[in-house]
Amino acid sequence: EADIYQTPRYLVIGTGKKITLECSQTMGHDKMYWYQQDPGMELHLIHYSYGVNSTEKGDLSSESTVSRIRTEHFPLTLESARPSHTSQYLCASSETGGYNEQFFGPGTRLTVL
Amino acid sequence: AQTVTQSQPEMSVQEAETVTLSCTYDTSENNYYLFWYKQPPSRQMILVIRQEAYKQQNATENRFSVNFQKAAKSFSLKISDSQLGDTAMYFCAFRTNAGKSTFGDGTTLTVKP
């Protein structure tokens, strides 16, 4: 399996709470990504980063924010969770260049009550 | 912008038989890369096979092969001798030279014993 980790794997939390989803990779990849995926559905890119101090919004608008202070770490934060944020969040990383595939983490399944 | 279309939301196949998953894409770029990823139930998404657009020869990885038709913008995945472990959601992905990926909506494949 790929060296990309996400914690927590499952999170159930109440409305209005601040949460941070962690993502780390040990492969030295410059590029990292966050996708939102409802069970059995398509992936939606919500954030990506091409390197330290670089972050961009993805194709799907999201109320979450990200930071990239270290190459290996790309956390996602929701300041005030809502039931509409309930979903699975997948983190991925890749080397630079189109030939290189993305390596995916195991995902965090978030439920907001 | 690129689009990727997987027209088969669900498919099933008998164990040991062959199945083909369809994928079409739209792009104005000439150099790009195509991927098939597999997402087994409750497990990490992994790469199945990749194809460079400038290569005419179809990629093959053991039981997995592609039929890449660049002019038709088609990139189907053939799975031979299907196994129960092939049961998963399969995503077709287009990736630019710069490393930006676009995923299809996915095809859920069930291999029946």
Task: Please give the angle made by the CA atoms of A41, A32 and A63, to the nearest 5 degrees.
Answer: 60
- Distance, in Å, from the CA atom of A31 to the CA atom of A93, rounded to the nearest integer, reads 5
Does pLDDT of A2 surpass 70? Answer: no
Average pLDDT of chain A, as a whole number: 94
- Chain B contact for A106, CB < 8 A? yes
Q: For residue range A21-73, what is the model confidence (pLDDT) as tens digits?
A: 999 999 999 999 999 999 888 999 999 999 999 999 988 888 899 999 999 99
Q: For residue range A59-78, what is the model confidence (pLDDT) as tens digits?
A: 888 889 999 999 999 999 99
- Count of CB pairs separated by less than 8 Å, A with B: 54
pLDDT at A64: 93
Q: For residue range B12-31, what is the model confidence (pLDDT) as tens digits?
A: 999 999 999 999 999 998 88
Can you tell me whether residue A25 is helix, strand or coil? Answer: strand
- Chain B contact for A39, CB < 8 A? no
Average pLDDT of chain B, as a whole number: 95
Q: Which chain B residues are Cβ-neighbours of A50 within 8 angstroms?
A: 99
In terms of CA atoms, which chain A residue is nearest residue B49? A101
Handedness of CA A97, A100, A101, A102 (dihedral sign): negative
Q: For residue range B56-110, what is the model confidence (pLDDT) as tens digits?
A: 899 999 999 999 999 999 999 999 999 999 999 999 999 998 888 999 999 999 9
pLDDT band at B42 (very low <50, low <70, confident <90, very high): confident
pLDDT at B100: 85
- Distance, in Å, from the CA atom of A75 to the CA atom of A108, rounded to the nearest integer, reads 12
Contact by Cβ (8 Å): B34, B25? yes
Residue B50 has, within 13 A of its CA and on its CB side, a CA count of 15
